Chains A and B, each alone.
Chain A
Amino acid sequence: MIAILILISPLIIALIANIYGSMYGIRFATNLLMWIALAESLNTISGYTGRLHFGHVMFFGVGAYVAGLLSLHLGIPWYVSVLFAPLTASIVALVIGYPTLRLHGAYFAIATWAFSEMLKQLSLNIEFLGKGYGIPLRIIVSDREVLYSMAMIAMVAVGINLIIERSRIGRALSAIRDNELVASSIGINTSQYKIFAYVMSSIPASLAGAVYVFWLQYIYGGDLFAGIKTDTMFMMLLLGGMGNYIGPLIGAVLFSGIYELLWSYIGEQLYLVLLGIFIMFIVVFMPYGISGLLGVKSVSIRYLLLSLSPRELRERIHVSQ
């Protein structure tokens, strides 16, 4: 029952915004739904599999670029070109995921971060991709269409996490997160499951990016690949709790709400400073996030980050013997 309620909550948010909301309300709801989709999609790879994916914004950017450029150059309607975004992003996820997912802990985090920064540098330096000043789109999409598209994408994201969590796949992924060595020794094909989670996490992120670019009417790599987007997703995940489908949603709602209330009073910069202090506070004192406080089964980030490198693992085993 709760699962169904959570699953359709993005649609409820969209409906409420549509019926009661002003222009501002609709924009706020769209933004909120986008962040729900992004936080949930990051949860698919970082929450269940335990890999800190510091380059998650690259899927967002790739999706945005693919959809935007297809519509701009080939004249495809926007709702069709949006569908090409997850296709491309999953191919990207497959290609880079296969070698990268072998890396552990910090190595994976830095590698994916470097890759996403590389894409950003490319987009800022290639003429075809906008080169530092961006490409205007001039494809009119109404705010309500964007709102409902985002609601659908958020539902896809929550749905993916729900299915993963309730099925064999989720249990396999948790086993990999908790101890990859043991997981592979009991017959779980670890690399296949990790790739699956990676591709699944790329789909909602790229869809959100694709719709975002039609909402914004502008393709600009500096914004689409901005590292601050990944930071925000992680913040939502930490705040809400990782490794379950409810946590990221709670995190995204709380975070967007607080952001909206605060930033107009204290300014963007001071807000981000407070955010940094806040994240340190969560890491030290509240490792299970809000969903942990509510009693939902959640993964402590402390526990999650125990995903050790093979060498450390060997040392651990050695010590315990």
Chain B
Amino acid sequence: MELLVQALIDGLTLGLIYSLAALGLSLAFGIMHIINVAHGDLMILGAFMIYWLFYLIGGSGSILTLLALSLGVSTFLGLIGYGFQRCVVNRVIERAPLLSLLLFFGLMLILPNLMIILWGPYARTLIMPELSYTIDLLVVKLSLNRLITLIISVTTIIILMIWVYRTKTGIAIRATAQNREGAIICGVDIKHIYSLVLAVAFFLAGFSGLLLNLNFSFTPVQGVIYTLLTFLIVVLGGMGYPPGTIVSGLLIGLLQAFISTFLGTTFVYAFIFLILYLTLLLRPKGILGRGM
């Protein structure tokens, strides 16, 4: 029983991290048909920058310092994303949406190697004594880092959903996704919207770097696994359908936690990649059937 609840909590945490990370990918695909194959590498880059800055300012500080740092890092990545879309991707996306795949493919080569040059190939783990406090619930112990992860990811997801579904910018974004020409006629600056969406995607990738810092250790070359994991979540939930992404993110998180807890970690990733392959073959619209 205790093991079961523990696996449930682990799975929920993992699922929320994955959902948050995958939302960036989902937005970029849904609105621009961009396949960002460097998404996982961006997450790792965010994690590394946060880690590096945290130790640059002395390596001791409260959780709020960490949060402020990661907001700064994510905003920085977001600005890079805006510039990248504005100056490079927009040049080719008009002619062939899939061509952007090769641009991000270039980015996928650059980022991990840049991180190895800057910070070395070693695994990093953020050490912060306050994070290992545990809170006794009825049957399980909930450590503080899990609790913070839950709060941060839920808050961010809610803010993002409000932004996409309730604000004027969000309406413009969804309009662009539904009908590009129609949006242009209605006066939507789609070049700006595209750049904004990629900026948000980069921001989310960087911000999930904070959650990686709180929960795992990471190495520069791990990006591919996160890229494929987030791909799986986006595909499973239906490409370009954010609520589906959240559902399938939770599902995959729970699945991974339960497999790790009860069957061992050996074949987790092989199994996950198999699900990705099979989903693409059998249900390309996603389990909810709402994707494109």
Task: Give the interface of A toward B (CB within 8 A).
Answer: 52, 99-100, 102-103, 105-107, 109-111, 113-115, 117-118, 121-122, 125, 227, 231, 234, 238, 268-270, 272-273, 275-280, 283-284, 301-303, 305-307, 311
Contacts and interface: CB of A to CB of B under 8 A. Distances in A.
Interface of B: 33, 35, 88, 91-92, 95-96, 98-99, 101-103, 105-110, 113-114, 116-117, 224, 228, 231-232, 235, 266-267, 269-270, 273-274, 276-277, 280-281, 284, 292
B113 A110 contact: no
Contacts of B33: 106
Contacts of A115: 273, 277
Q: SS class of chain A's interface: helix, strand, loop or mixed?
A: helix
A105 B98 contact: yes
Given A114-B276, A121-B267, 15 more contacts: A99-B281, A109-B101, A110-B276, A117-B228, A118-B277, A122-B270, A238-B102, A269-B117, A272-B109, A275-B109, A276-B113, A283-B103, A303-B96, A305-B98, A305-B99
Nearest to B118: A269
B107 A273 contact: no
Contacts of B98: 52, 105-106, 305-307
Contact of B224 (A227, A280, A301): A227
B284 A276 contact: no
A273 B231 contact: no
Contacts of A118: 269-270, 273-274, 277
B109 A270 contact: no
Contact of A272 (B105, B113, B267, B269): B113
Q: Which 9 A-B pairs have the closest CB atoms?
A: A276-B109, A276-B110, A118-B273, A121-B270, A279-B106, A305-B98, A280-B106, A276-B106, A111-B280
Contact of B99 (A103, A122, A302): A302
Contacts of A122: 267, 270
A306 B96 contact: yes
A102 B267 CA distance: 28
B128 to A, nearest CB: 30
27 contacts: A105-B98, A109-B35, A110-B231, A110-B235, A113-B228, A114-B232, A115-B273, A117-B228, A117-B273, A118-B277, A121-B273, A125-B266, A227-B224, A234-B105, A238-B102, A270-B117, A273-B113, A276-B110, A279-B106, A280-B88, A280-B107, A283-B99, A284-B92, A301-B102, A302-B92, A305-B98, A311-B292
A279 B105 contact: yes
Tell which of A105, A122, A283, A303 has the most Cβ of chain B within 10 Å: A283
Contacts of B110: 272-273, 276-277
A269 B273 contact: no
A269 B113 contact: yes
Nearest to A280: B106
A107 B33 CA distance: 11
B277 A111 contact: yes
A222 B31 CA distance: 35
A302 B235 contact: no
A272 B265 CA distance: 32
A71 to B, nearest CB: 26
B37 to A, nearest CB: 8
A110 B269 CA distance: 15
Nearest to A230: B105
B255 to A, nearest CB: 16
Given A107-B284, A110-B231, A311-B292, A305 B101 contact: yes
A154 to B, nearest CB: 25
B96 to A, nearest CB: 4
B273 A273 contact: no
Contacts of A110: 35, 231, 235, 276, 280
Contacts of A106: 33, 35, 98, 101
Tell which of A270, A280, A311 has the most Cβ of chain B within 10 Å: A280
Given A111-B280, A227-B224, A273 B102 contact: no
Nearest to A232: B109
A99 B267 CA distance: 24
Contacts of A105: 98
A270 B117 CA distance: 7
A100 B281 contact: yes
B83 to A, nearest CB: 13
A105 B33 CA distance: 11
A108 to B, nearest CB: 8
A201 B273 CA distance: 23
A285 to B, nearest CB: 9
A232 B92 CA distance: 22
B184 to A, nearest CB: 13
B106 A269 contact: no
Nearest to A107: B280
